Amino acid sequence: MIIIAGSGPSVSDYDGPVTVCTKKRSLPAEYLFCRFGFQAQGDLPLMLYYRRNADGKDAYFCDSLRWDKYYKQFIRSKTPPQRVKPSLGTCAVMGVMERWNPKEIGVIGFDNILDGNDDWAHDAIAEKRCIESLVKIVDLRKGS
């Protein structure tokens, strides 16, 4: 199973293996996922992940235009404007799906999404629906 670590508080209680982490590097992982900006300009690849300590030789560039379009169907509100942008964790899920297309993923540090936190800057409900439309989610938080 591919494990993705976001930056939510539950990462502090997790000591298992991680395949991909986000740019905040909440946990040691084999790959680091980054997203530069929200809208791609032309063919500029803005979503990517790469193998840590490999000098960028194992970088994988994701189709950010495809994923921006896919995410739009889940947006519920445009206020505040940040809600139209998927979080880095959701983008990491999209990148994992594009490259490996697993049947299920384990997530840790996705607390706002899994709990449906409506006070979060992103749209947690839209993000959870988006992720669930792609893959089965295994919540790796203690007590889950």
Q: Which residues pair with 50 in a beta bridge?
A: 32
Strand pairing category for 136-139 and 104-108:
parallel
What sign for the dihedral angle of Cα 113, 115, 120, 126?
A: positive
- Phi, psi of 68, deg, nearest 5: -60, -45
Looking from the CA of 9 toward its CB, the CA atoms found within 13 Å total 2
Mind listing the pLDDT tens digit for each residue in 40-72? 455 555 566 666 555 656 778 888 888 989 999
Domain boundaries, the chain: 2-139
Amino acid at 67: W
Cis? peptide before 9, omega within 30° of 0: no
Task: Quick: pLDDT tens for 92-142.
Answer: 999 999 999 999 999 999 999 999 998 888 899 999 999 999 999 999 998
**Residue type at 104 in one-letter notation:** E
